[in-house]
Amino acid sequence: MIVVMQPGATPEQIRDVEERIRQFGFDIHPIYGVERTVIAAVGAPELDRNEAKEQLESLPYVEQVTLVLKPYKFVSKKFREQTVVRVGGVEVGGTHFAVMAGPCTVENEEQLFKTAQAVQQAGAHILRGGAYKPSTSPYSFHGLGREGLELLARARELTGMPIITEVMDPRNVELVCQYADILQIGTRNMQNYDLLREVGQARKPVMLKRGMWATYEEWLQAAEYIWLGGNEQIILCERGIRTFETYTRNTLDINAVPAIKELSHLPIVVDPSHGTGRASLVPAATLAALAAGADGVIVEVHPTPARALKDGAQSLTLEAFRDLMRSLRPLAEVMGRQL
Amino acid sequence: MIVVMQPGATPEQIRDVEERIRQFGFDIHPIYGVERTVIAAVGAPELDRNEAKEQLESLPYVEQVTLVLKPYKFVSKKFREQTVVRVGGVEVGGTHFAVMAGPCTVENEEQLFKTAQAVQQAGAHILRGGAYKPSTSPYSFHGLGREGLELLARARELTGMPIITEVMDPRNVELVCQYADILQIGTRNMQNYDLLREVGQARKPVMLKRGMWATYEEWLQAAEYIWLGGNEQIILCERGIRTFETYTRNTLDINAVPAIKELSHLPIVVDPSHGTGRASLVPAATLAALAAGADGVIVEVHPTPARALKDGAQSLTLEAFRDLMRSLRPLAEVMGRQL
Amino acid sequence: MIVVMQPGATPEQIRDVEERIRQFGFDIHPIYGVERTVIAAVGAPELDRNEAKEQLESLPYVEQVTLVLKPYKFVSKKFREQTVVRVGGVEVGGTHFAVMAGPCTVENEEQLFKTAQAVQQAGAHILRGGAYKPSTSPYSFHGLGREGLELLARARELTGMPIITEVMDPRNVELVCQYADILQIGTRNMQNYDLLREVGQARKPVMLKRGMWATYEEWLQAAEYIWLGGNEQIILCERGIRTFETYTRNTLDINAVPAIKELSHLPIVVDPSHGTGRASLVPAATLAALAAGADGVIVEVHPTPARALKDGAQSLTLEAFRDLMRSLRPLAEVMGRQL
Amino acid sequence: MIVVMQPGATPEQIRDVEERIRQFGFDIHPIYGVERTVIAAVGAPELDRNEAKEQLESLPYVEQVTLVLKPYKFVSKKFREQTVVRVGGVEVGGTHFAVMAGPCTVENEEQLFKTAQAVQQAGAHILRGGAYKPSTSPYSFHGLGREGLELLARARELTGMPIITEVMDPRNVELVCQYADILQIGTRNMQNYDLLREVGQARKPVMLKRGMWATYEEWLQAAEYIWLGGNEQIILCERGIRTFETYTRNTLDINAVPAIKELSHLPIVVDPSHGTGRASLVPAATLAALAAGADGVIVEVHPTPARALKDGAQSLTLEAFRDLMRSLRPLAEVMGRQL
């Protein structure tokens, strides 16, 4: 922690700050410059002393406090080199490129099974589908709930594909765990800490979507919540952030892929469907994700997007998904990834 | 709903779209222009047909679909002129300017009671204080929980001020309702729909903070969730949005005050503490909120910010809060507000 | 400048960084912590050594470089307490609250003169009007050019009000100086450095609008460009920044007012017309600007907004402007400002 | 153009709007719905009637005006299928993948020539280098000016590679044209309309970088300015936009690549150096650009980034650039691109 004093800070004020820093358990290294005094505080973990920065900055004679260490530990690249999450026969985070595909929302048996079989035949590894759906509008469809979970379980039996589905309410974590192979935390819930703690105690892998407003640092801190609950099977998912651009639903932050790879050992996948919001842009965004080093993608597919109950505009048809898988294959080979 | 066809759409494609629009229950009014065909769809509520836009946009021969009506109904200005929320003797949304003040987090009896008495003497109407605290870092203090609620209840007895406190977990709504006079939904939970539904069934007023990523429209849709649960006592709170500016913690969107006033009948208050993140900017932001027409403010105050467990940098000292109240008074008079 | 080494940096790497820092003219103060080494570099002006941060960060064994000092000097609060810009009998930056008003664009004599006389009678101090207009669309009206300048000069004769008008092209600075009392640099040109240098050499005050993408720091650096050219008569203008909110044209950053006041001695005015983009929101935003401590406002007024060649939606009618001035007066008095 | 009236608009108000629409040259198609009246305006080019939307929205009885047509014409996909810009033997916009590489800034002969030869040997097609540099800080190096242009011309002789360099000041366009093969318009100047008009009259291709705040629509409108000047040789360059994320200098908007491809016939290249701001992220971003369908990249390379006068942190070393070219080759082949 580096504390920069205001110019003109008095010796008493400097002593006061030094004393406070010592009370937080740090050793102090003051540097008395010409224009101002800088105090380096070392020798104690910053992680458990988050209030230190805020408190020191509340003093009128302190200009600025900079933290030196990252605000997360266990999900950091410095803690571990690589995490591989294994689900069924699928690996996320190793040399595989994991393709999760399926409808935004489970609507009925026919829609789900038809999609499941088609995406499997096309080469997808994991089936996605929402039973509990967050909807901006209270008037929208909110999913079939438990019935949707049961349909997903039957689709898994039918195809052998593991399933990933969203959980929104901490009271449902236990129930969803009975059905799902991977629990998905949606973008709106990235900082729903009670939910993070609850899935931290689950014995199922968790895919944590980035909050559409969240920095990499905040995202990794959210992952640290899950880790501290005891669950180390975490997959990160970049799904686009909110910017001023309105042609696309979100701005897919492709930088996140290599950035997370240098900051963390956790696998990262990309959601090109929400990341673009337009089916016509999904193939290019998927190829880009693979080329940028992502460990997989999660793609919305619907047999008839023009009849979908949600996210029709960004869902691929079965044919478009097949074409996409075909164009992914040679790229995966070049990138050294098993598809 | 206005559907713009791609240029070159064939008669069959136009008929297909017309047929779909009719199935959603709309009457169609096609306009065959030179460059493209536009189809106006009227005569049915758009509100219950959210999927229509998405589905139509998934068709390759549709260029763009624009909704004409607002995606919320009951919280709209068109539904009602004005809502006044009454808590204890305090009115939010009428001619009063409601001042909520207190510590970010309830730390202990001494800190809370001292702050409560000081803000009351300075003229605050409602006591704020967190018992359950959302923290970006899992290593931060997360509040005293039930013990914090009990301290808040005792501070209410001591001062007579109603209390507002945050609820984060749907499982805690019932408990928090036993203590709080107003339930606060924090920015991170603005789209936590299970929580919104739960407080929608509570018999206590709810203050809904704007998600730091949320548009006015999404914010009002979140309020509509609460309304549809049966709870019409809703206060909106502008607390700053996330932008590229880093000098301030958030960018306080002062436009939100008059904008919400023209879109909705719900009262709106401003949080200048989170809206700026710097105690030195809080007074100016508070005055601006009053001048812009806000129905109140919620301000963080701490006896010793440099010892606060959270948000020290943005908390006012007791003295600074007294000064702020003094400068608010003549302004309130000019603005026709009772303080 | 504080240089944080990567954990595991070798003694040679640390020596290399120390050597480089010394070559930039800094004294070094290394702090050998447990997890990493931190090197404080002091004793030299950071201002002239901008490349140091970039260069050091390019080294793989450097984790992070933090600058301690602000990247501007002469426009800083530390250089001077207060600047008052005087134009005609009007002061900007003292205890006056300067109201600049007029049409977005000078369209013709009748429109300009009618507006000029009306805003003057209502109490405005400075006449605004565009002769050269930046337009997002190449098909829009781009202003009358020199003819517009001449009309402005005649409006000044007629009313006695000084005039402010935009200059976009460095080749026009000399010409515009012959007519204008204040040169306006628009948001799109905040980082048009050749233009900044040119107006830096002008003998007329300059109003520098904030780039809609620019941080306070970048804005003040742009002002420093003008200052270094020799022109100290600079007014800053907050006009809204670009965010994800679409209901308003821009998000007026009211925090900028007190923030700039603590960072700089330059006066700051607010543009509520562009800051909101909606005439209905302009009055509230104007009052908020005054309450937040701004030194003035610049407001678009048009005799018939529904016939305006530009910015009709955000222009006040003559009546609405009169009403606004009336509501400003008591507020100005309370705030200790002469209107 | 679709005009939605406020609910409760009177017949007179509706007639007034209809009359105004007719005066703009449109035919009207009113639709009298239950909740409100909608008026479709067709039969005239919206492009030349930009003020119509603004003016109509200034009326209190109009709720919303939506434009149906795109605000640009000649750069639109609907005007032409594909533009290929040819420079020397290099094609941008066809099946080639054009690699532009070189130093951020021309510093001296040795630095430039060494870099030029190295990037050429590694397979780059076009040499980049700045003679006039926009710098946020007035204290930074601003380039060698004409001397830099001469060095670039000599590097072209030496290597045979065409050169691209930035022009910032309309007064320099003629001079820069004497040296450069492609004129670069930087992000800060995307809406510097006098500069756009000037390069519109140049006989050299122009690479137009996206403003860091600009939507696709505004970017294409800026390109339309150049086109209208008579210059059809335009290359677009996505270089990252400004968001809340601070780990990266900008957020590279990879969606822009396929989006621009469906909106416009102009070629689009990607700048992974500014798009990330970190040399460690540049290779992944470059591969992603190719996979997403970009027509090329422009990459900063420096023999010793830790001695660079600008942008050291985002410049690749000569070795890193060679490695990048090696990893691009198999990918280009798979994507059907000549490298």
Question: Can you give the pTM of this predicted structure?
Answer: 0.97
Chain C residues within an 8 Å CB radius of A68: 4, 36, 38, 64
Q: Note whether D128 and D298 are within 8 A (CB).
A: yes
Contact state of D312 with C139 under an 8 Å Cβ cutoff:
no
User: Picking from A38-52, A174-188, B142-156, C218-232, which range would have the lowest pLDDT averaged per residue?
Assistant: A38-52
Contact state of C243 with B243 under an 8 Å Cβ cutoff:
yes
Q: In this model, does residue C21 exceed pLDDT 80?
A: yes
Helices D50-57 and D11-23 cross at an angle (nearest 10°) of 160
Q: What is the pLDDT of residue A167?
A: 98
Q: In this model, does residue A295 exceed pLDDT 90?
A: yes
Token representation of residue B9: 């759409």
Burial class (CB in 10 A: 0-12, 13-18, 19+), D148: buried
Q: What is the pLDDT of residue B22?
A: 93
Chain C residues within an 8 Å CB radius of B263: 247
Q: Which residue of A has its CA nearest to D287?
A: A291
User: Picking from B11-25, B323-337, D46-60, which range would have the lowest pLDDT averaged per residue?
Assistant: D46-60
CA of A192 vs chain D CAs: smallest distance (Å): 20
Looking at the complex, does the CB of residue B47 fall below 8 Å from at least one CB of chain D? no
Chain B residues within an 8 Å CB radius of A273: none
How far apart (Å, rounded) are the C-alpha atoms in residues D233 and D218?
A: 18
CA of D290 vs chain A CAs: smallest distance (Å): 8
Looking at the complex, does the CB of residue D57 fall below 8 Å from at least one CB of chain C? yes
Domains located in chain A, CATH noted: 2-66 (3.30.70.1140), 85-334 (3.20.20.70)
Q: Which residue of B has its CA nearest to A306?
A: B55
Token representation of residue C154: 């005649």
Q: What is the pLDDT of residue C51?
A: 86
Contact state of C31 with A38 under an 8 Å Cβ cutoff:
no
How far apart (Å, rounded) are the C-alpha atoms in residues C310 and C313?
A: 9
Residue from D116, D130, D108 nearest D161 by CA: D116
Contact state of B64 with D68 under an 8 Å Cβ cutoff:
yes
What are the DSSP calls for A283-310, one per residue? HHHHHHHHHHT-SEEEEEB-S-GGG-SS
Looking at the complex, does the CB of residue D34 fall below 8 Å from at least one CB of chain C? no
Q: What is the pLDDT of residue D234?
A: 98
Residues of chain D with pLDDT > 70, as a percent, come to 100
Contact state of B31 with D38 under an 8 Å Cβ cutoff:
no
Neighbours of B83 (CB within 10 A): 18
Looking at the complex, does the CB of residue A79 fall below 8 Å from at least one CB of chain D? no
Q: How many helices (H) and strands (E) does chain B have?
A: 11, 14
Q: What is the pLDDT of residue B43?
A: 81
Q: What is the pLDDT of residue D117?
A: 98
Radius of gyration from C-alpha coordinates of chain D: 23
Q: List, for residues B48-96, the tens digit of each pLDDT value.
A: 777 899 899 999 999 989 888 889 999 999 999 999 999 988 999 999 9
Q: Which residue of D has its CA nearest to C17?
A: D306
pLDDT band of D212, cuts 50, 70, 90:
very high
How far apart (Å, rounded) are the C-alpha atoms in residues C1 and C16?
A: 16
Q: In this model, does residue A83 exceed pLDDT 80?
A: yes
DSSP lists the bridge partners of residue D206 as D183, D234
**Cβ-nearest to A254 among D254, D263, D278:** D254
Identify the residue among B254, B333, B339 best suited for mutation to test binding to C, counting C beta carbons within 10 A and taking the highest: B254
What's the rounded mean pLDDT across residues A180-184?
98
Compute the mean pLDDT over every residue in chain A, rounded to the nearest whole number: 95
Chain B residues within an 8 Å CB radius of D246: 246
Q: List, for residues C74-101, the tens digit of each pLDDT value.
A: 999 999 999 999 998 899 999 999 999 9
User: Picking from A28-37, A133-142, A184-193, B171-180, which range would have the lowest pLDDT averaged per residue?
Assistant: A28-37
**Residue given tokens 């000649």 in the structure block:** D74
What's the rounded mean pLDDT across residues B123-148?
95
How far apart (Å, rounded) are the C-alpha atoms in residues D133 and C276?
A: 34
Looking at the complex, does the CB of residue C338 fall below 8 Å from at least one CB of chain D? no
Chain B residues within an 8 Å CB radius of C254: 252, 254, 284-285, 288
Q: Note whether B30 and B18 are within 8 A (CB).
A: yes
pLDDT band of D17, cuts 50, 70, 90:
very high
Hey, what amino acid is at C327? S
Contact state of A71 with B137 under an 8 Å Cβ cutoff:
yes
Neighbours of D67 (CB within 10 A): 18
Characterize B105-128 residue by residue with b for buried, 16 or more Cβ atoms within 10 angstroms of its Cβ, and e for exposed: bbbeeebbbbbbbbbbebbbbbbb
How far apart (Å, rounded) are the C-alpha atoms in residues A275 and A260?
A: 17
- CA A108 to chain CA mean position, Å: 28
CA of C290 vs chain B CAs: smallest distance (Å): 8
Neighbours of A170 (CB within 10 A): 22
Q: List, for residues A207-228, the tens digit of each pLDDT value.
A: 999 999 999 999 999 999 999 9
What is the edge-to-edge ordering of all strands in the sheet holding C27-32? C27-32, C37-42, C2-5, C62-66
pLDDT band of B44, cuts 50, 70, 90:
confident
Looking at the complex, does the CB of residue D64 fall below 8 Å from at least one CB of chain B? yes
Chain D residues within an 8 Å CB radius of B2: 2, 38, 40, 66
Residue from D248, A55, A6, D311 nearest C70 by CA: A6
The chains found to touch C (3+ Cβ pairs under 8 angstroms) are A, B, D
CA of C326 vs chain B CAs: smallest distance (Å): 12
CA of C262 vs chain B CAs: smallest distance (Å): 9
How far apart (Å, rounded) are the C-alpha atoms in residues A127 and A156?
A: 8
Looking at the complex, does the CB of residue A40 fall below 8 Å from at least one CB of chain B? no
DSSP lists the bridge partners of residue C37 as C32
Q: Note whether A112 and A105 are within 8 A (CB).
A: no
The chains found to touch D (3+ Cβ pairs under 8 angstroms) are A, B, C
Half-sphere exposure of B146 (CA within 13 A, CB side): 5
Q: List, for residues C101-159, the tens digit of each pLDDT value.
A: 999 999 999 999 999 999 999 999 999 999 999 999 999 889 999 999 999 999 999 99
The chains found to touch A (3+ Cβ pairs under 8 angstroms) are B, C, D
Looking at the complex, does the CB of residue B243 fall below 8 Å from at least one CB of chain D? yes
SS (H, E, C) chain C: CEEEECCCCCHHHHHHHHHHHHHCCCEEEEEECCCCEEEEEECCCCCCCHHHHHHHHCCCCEEEEECCCCCCCCCECCCCCCCCEEECCEEECCCECEEEEECCECCCHHHHHHHHHHHHHHCCCEEECECCCCCCCCCCCCCCCHHHHHHHHHHHHHHCCCEEEECCCHHHHHHHHHHCCEEEECHHHCCCHHHHHHHHCCCCCEEEECCCCCCHHHHHHHHHHHHHCCCCCEEEEECCECCCCCCCCCECECCHHHHHHHHECCCEEECHHHHHCCHHHHHHHHHHHHHHCCCEEEEEECCCHHHCCCCHHHCECHHHHHHHHHHHHHHHHHCCCEC
Identify the residue among B58, B175, B199, B245 best suited for mutation to test binding to A, counting A beta carbons within 10 A and taking the highest: B58
Helix residue ranges per DSSP H, A71-136: 109-122
Q: What is the pLDDT of residue B202?
A: 97
Q: Which residue has the higher pLDDT, B276 or D33?
A: B276
Q: List, for residues D293-321, the tens digit of each pLDDT value.
A: 999 999 999 999 999 988 889 999 999 99
Neighbours of C209 (CB within 10 A): 26
Contact state of C251 with B251 under an 8 Å Cβ cutoff:
yes
Looking at the complex, does the CB of residue B289 fall below 8 Å from at least one CB of chain C? yes
How many Cβ pairs closer than 8 A exist between chain B and D? 48
How far apart (Å, rounded) are the C-alpha atoms in residues A74 and A228?
A: 8
Q: In this model, does residue D43 exceed pLDDT 90?
A: no
Compute the mean pLDDT over every residue in chain B, rounded to the nearest whole number: 95
How far apart (Å, rounded) are the C-alpha atoms in residues C28 and B209?
A: 47
Residues 6+ apart with CB under 8 A from A291: A331, A335, D284, D287, D288, D290, D291, D292, D331
Residues of chain B with pLDDT > 90, as a percent, come to 87
**Residue given tokens 């192979």 in the structure block:** A181
Q: Note whether D30 and D18 are within 8 A (CB).
A: yes
Token representation of residue B273: 């503490």
Residue from A14, A11, A40 nearest A26 by CA: A40
Taking only residues 171 to 190 of chain D, the set having a beta carbon closer than 8 angstroms to any beta carbon of chain B reads: none
Q: In this model, does residue D107 exceed pLDDT 90?
A: yes
pLDDT band of A234, cuts 50, 70, 90:
very high
Burial class (CB in 10 A: 0-12, 13-18, 19+), D11: exposed
**Cβ-nearest to A309 among B51, B53, B308:** B51
CA of D305 vs chain B CAs: smallest distance (Å): 27
Contact state of C38 with A243 under an 8 Å Cβ cutoff:
no
**Cβ-nearest to A33 among C33, C42, C66:** C42
Q: Note whether D200 and D228 are within 8 A (CB).
A: yes
CA of A310 vs chain B CAs: smallest distance (Å): 6
Contact state of D2 with B2 under an 8 Å Cβ cutoff:
yes
Q: List, for residues C98-117, the tens digit of each pLDDT value.
A: 999 999 999 999 999 999 99
pLDDT band of D326, cuts 50, 70, 90:
very high
At residue A56, the 3 state secondary structure works out as helix
Chain C residues within an 8 Å CB radius of A242: 244
Looking at the complex, does the CB of residue C25 fall below 8 Å from at least one CB of chain A? no
Q: Note whether B129 and B107 are within 8 A (CB).
A: no
pLDDT band of A43, cuts 50, 70, 90:
confident
Q: In this model, does residue D51 exceed pLDDT 90?
A: no
Q: What is the pLDDT of residue C68?
A: 84
The chains found to touch B (3+ Cβ pairs under 8 angstroms) are A, C, D
Identify the residue among D250, D255, D260 best suited for mutation to test binding to A, counting A beta carbons within 10 A and taking the highest: D255
- CA B60 to chain CA mean position, Å: 38
- CA C247 to chain CA mean position, Å: 23
Q: How many helices (H) and strands (E) does chain A have?
A: 11, 14
Q: In this model, does residue A243 exceed pLDDT 90?
A: yes
Q: In this model, does residue D245 exceed pLDDT 90?
A: yes
Q: List, for residues C236-252, the tens digit of each pLDDT value.
A: 999 999 999 999 999 99
pLDDT band of B33, cuts 50, 70, 90:
confident
**Cβ-nearest to D42 among B31, B43, B244:** B31
What's the rounded mean pLDDT across residues A80-105?
96
pLDDT band of C188, cuts 50, 70, 90:
very high
Q: What is the pLDDT of residue D124?
A: 98
Backbone angles phi, psi at D259, to 5 degrees: -65, -45
How far apart (Å, rounded) are the C-alpha atoms in residues B86 and D325?
A: 68
**Residues A101, A104, A107: CA angle, nearest 5 degrees:** 115
Residues 6+ apart with CB under 8 A from D247: A215, A216, A217, A259, A263
Token representation of residue B194: 């299970």
Q: What is the pLDDT of residue B16?
A: 94
